[in-house]
Structure 1
């Protein structure tokens, strides 16, 4: 710790940085135009130091915030960011230049105090449409360009290039929902402005040297806590695996495996994903930044240190190997829209490995996949585009039952309210939505319930597109707990039920009813050991539909 930075002052500055990042996130959500940002909160914010290391991040989406350092590093490798000027910004979405998928546009703006670079404010938001071969998502894309507009790292002057300037005009000439897109981008610039203002206030009050020192110290502090958490694990090497329903390369493609080898030695850890499925000509590839974020998050979540500040200091004791040409590190040019599914399986595989050394810390699998559900309509003069991001149940763990119908651990998107959907989507009506009793895995501790949503189609020219998982292989239970249910998607047309797979596009007609059902999580521990009073309440409340798995008769 710097001699000029007392523990009390460090705490004030560290909490100030965290509060600034949180305020950035709140401002972005309040200012956004699209329901996917304003309601579902598919966005993230962070503060970076002058070297581009994340020092404070809002509690939003780990898959985005834990990867922002890679995004900045890729931009810095392509641009001269050594002497940024006031009013400049970096924007990008290229998955092969540190980005996530094309819909996630990243904005960095410099934080300058009397000409000195203190750091950078960064934000990410999922944009409703990014062009490409279909509204919202092109499930048939076999290359990145088919998914939409690729924005390599660009250093722009906001007044000249954005506010009616050529960069803004070029981007939104290629997007189907330009008004919404501009509103969300402006919200990102506003969020970055808030973060910048708060850091400058700290520099005015305590001096820029103190801000620099605090940024360095919070990284060192997280590193120390991360090392202590790793050191508490037993030394050794373990292997785990997890499976996707398919790599999406062709209809009926078989399940594919993600494999992780975890090695713990002292206060350092190594994760190697050699042996994982090869890259695919489909949207289920995961970007390098997303896969790295998944690996770091998987290890951090298993350490049990809930108070550890999430920043780049957590990465220092960890080495991650992502084999090139694999589903977790694809060749440039391949599509990556559904990258979160493979990233979630990377997290599941790491947890499967760690479950062999610290089983009491590792939960059963949850739904653990992003379900992007789109109902789009072309109309005269534009498009109506509905995107629902829906989460299933989480997996149970030792000591607690899991939560219901919540986005996975690498994300934190909220369920969009029915009222918000119908207000901006005149081509559909929400018929019903609710939890699904019995959709979880029985166990000593039970998984969270899944969810269903039922939509009535009200107009012509409506297309359904989806990417999801768990339609073929259910969320796995742990330590004797049972698996969760399977997902399903059904279109009822003139009394006939048409079952659809977990990814693809389907043309709808007025009067069609679409029902999406996502599973609950796996159970943890032998169901026969479930507390009898808890089981009685489960049966009375209709949460448990079949008591047979919980019977204590050895002959059951």
Structure 2
């Protein structure tokens, strides 16, 4: 459907209306964070807020929400409208709709979407939407992440397909009773849903205020103008790329402890096709779907967002292009090919709840393909993340804690990598230790950067962190992670990064190494779980890193004096000064071995 614009809007008015729309989304986000009960929303800001017009175009989004929450919102609206049309249902003033169907636009089941239709004089003009990750969705084991053993979509928890929790302004008590009766830690989860509803209603009010102030036609013209502007920016950037096809592949751990070859070493294949001002991202060759393991990814809501975010971030870097409208115009020049029945386009009821690390690998592999085209605009390989759920009994109910444990970026042209940070489409904040220990029977006994682990490069790779959490009561945990077998890739002569680790320490002091994916596992009091994040790859030949930077790395304890010598060819004496003559001679004797395709430094 194409919007019919009756008038051309001037640029000044367009910017004024855009500012009003963006402020509405920002207000939604701030108030959602402040009203929420759980730390995953309140502290980590794992939520999204946006206004969407009647054509399905996203008008604005909350600037401090995560791309994996805001990006899928148009897909949520599309899925809701599809289901309601199939049912013969219709939107009414006062409706509030709950939606989390991963085969109808939702990113995964725990990400509940709340949609409030917006009416002007009884005419539907758009939607105000919030999304957020919830602690529990009634799955077979506690928590909403770390569920790595669900056999199908039904085992992942409650499925809400465009369900009206308020109908014409009246609360549907039946649905609220279902929520309270089937979800662990239900007071917190229901409180978070109510916060989402309040924030979505605020967005609807602001949307109406903007329409009443500037006129519906002006707002529609602004939406179309801004969408066209963003599309033109993307097309212009794509047109500067050389036509051709560029291939890359990456591998996920999968289930390293599985006896089935089909459940581990899962390939992600990306062929980037550039033609004129359009791109095709072809995922043909990616591993088949896992019928009874939930690492499959919804095509709409996860795979598409991983692709769109990567392209937007690399081709329209904000450092060069500044602030520009984030809307559906950016996706118009991009086509995605994802064969049905693969992990990137599964067939219902294949489970999808543990799609987080898988989607990050889509983004990382696409970036590797882009590196062949725009080598100065990418980073080296990214260290993936761990998603942790911890839980225990509290009277007749559960306490549930969820954490997104950060990874690290690879080195970039001209810059060292970012350390211990949520990567790519995650972009959530870490949970403060004080918040964890004040709300749960847990103690964070260690939280630090890995020692002497950064990948060598002209611009070094990012450093993963180590977090150890001790149970102060009997409880259980589950983990969804990746990157325990395959190192993040080095680029342009940089070394590969380091893999992550997961260890459980028992009260008697004994330890056990765990694979990257662990189903719900019970532990006794004083057991401790230690997560070690992967380290990103290095960028550029390490012997081109300035000796002064290498010395600073030694002084900061990122590397040792021995590493400075063997990895960078820099001699630092016992007084922690650079021996310039010895360094010059050593670097002259070093050669680059390109025989394997991974550039490494060896001595003559």
Q: Same fold (TM over 0.5)?
A: yes
Residue in structure 1 matched with residue 558 of structure 2 by the alignment:
543
More off after superposition, 86-95 vs 112-121: 112-121
CA distance in 2, matches of 1:468, 1:424: 24
Question: Which stretches in structure 1 are left out of the alignment for 5+ residues?
Answer: none
Residue in structure 2 matched with residue 146 of structure 1 by the alignment:
155
Residue in structure 2 matched with residue 430 of structure 1 by the alignment:
444
Secondary structure in 2 matching 1:173: helix
Query: What TM-score, normalized to structure 2?
Result: 0.88
Question: Which stretches in structure 2 are left out of the alignment for 5+ residues?
Answer: 570-586, 591-601
Match of 2:369 among 353, 358, 362: 353
Residue in structure 2 matched with residue 457 of structure 1 by the alignment:
471
CA distance in 2, matches of 1:8, 1:96: 40
Match of 1:283 among 278, 294, 298: 294
Query: What TM-score, normalized to structure 1?
Result: 0.95
Match of 1:236 among 238, 244, 247: 244
Residue in structure 1 matched with residue 80 of structure 2 by the alignment:
75
Residue in structure 1 matched with residue 310 of structure 2 by the alignment:
298
Match of 1:444 among 458, 468, 471: 458
Secondary structure in 1 matching 2:182: coil
More off after superposition, 27-36 vs 348-357: 348-357
Secondary structure in 2 matching 1:485: coil
Deviation per CA, 1:161-182: give whole Å up to 9, x if none.
Answer: 64x6111111221101111111
Secondary structure in 1 matching 2:389: strand
Question: Do the aligned residues in 2 keep the contact of 1:118 with 1:211 (CA within 8 Å)?
Answer: no
Secondary structure in 1 matching 2:264: coil
Residue 446 of structure 1: CA displacement? 1.1
Residue 450 of structure 1: CA displacement? 0.8
CA distance in 1, matches of 2:451, 2:228: 46
CA distance in 2, matches of 1:93, 1:471: 30
Deviation per CA, 1:245-270: give whole Å up to 9, x if none.
Answer: 11579357431110011111111111
Residue 4 of structure 1: CA displacement? 5.2
| Alignment size in residue pairs | 552
CA distance in 2, matches of 1:139, 1:236: 38
Residue in structure 2 matched with residue 265 of structure 1 by the alignment:
275
Residue 111 of structure 1: CA displacement? 1.8
Change in Cα spacing, 1:105 to 1:161, as seen in structure 2 (3 Å) is farther
Alignment partner of 1:123 is 2:127:
no
Alignment partner of 1:171 is 2:179:
yes
Change in Cα spacing, 1:249 to 1:231, as seen in structure 2 (3 Å) is farther
Secondary structure in 2 matching 1:542: coil
Residue 52 of structure 1: CA displacement? 1.9
Question: Do the aligned residues in 1 keep the contact of 2:363 with 2:424 (CA within 8 Å)?
Answer: no
Secondary structure in 2 matching 1:507: strand
Residue in structure 1 matched with residue 66 of structure 2 by the alignment:
61
CA distance in 2, matches of 1:429, 1:249: 29
CA distance in 1, matches of 2:365, 2:234: 20
Following superposition of structure 1 onto structure 2, how do residues 182-197 of structure 1 map, counting pairs within 5 Å? Answer: 182-197=190-205
More off after superposition, 337-346 vs 119-128: 337-346
CA distance in 2, matches of 1:142, 1:82: 32
More off after superposition, 81-90 vs 115-124: 81-90
Alignment partner of 1:20 is 2:35:
no
Following superposition of structure 1 onto structure 2, how do residues 28-67 of structure 1 map, counting pairs within 5 Å? Answer: 28-59=32-63, 60-67=65-72
Alpha carbon RMSD of aligned pairs, Å? Answer: 1.9
Residue 94 of structure 1: CA displacement? 1.2
Alignment partner of 1:475 is 2:488:
yes
Structure whose alpha-carbon radius of gyration is higher: 2
CA distance in 1, matches of 2:313, 2:336: 16
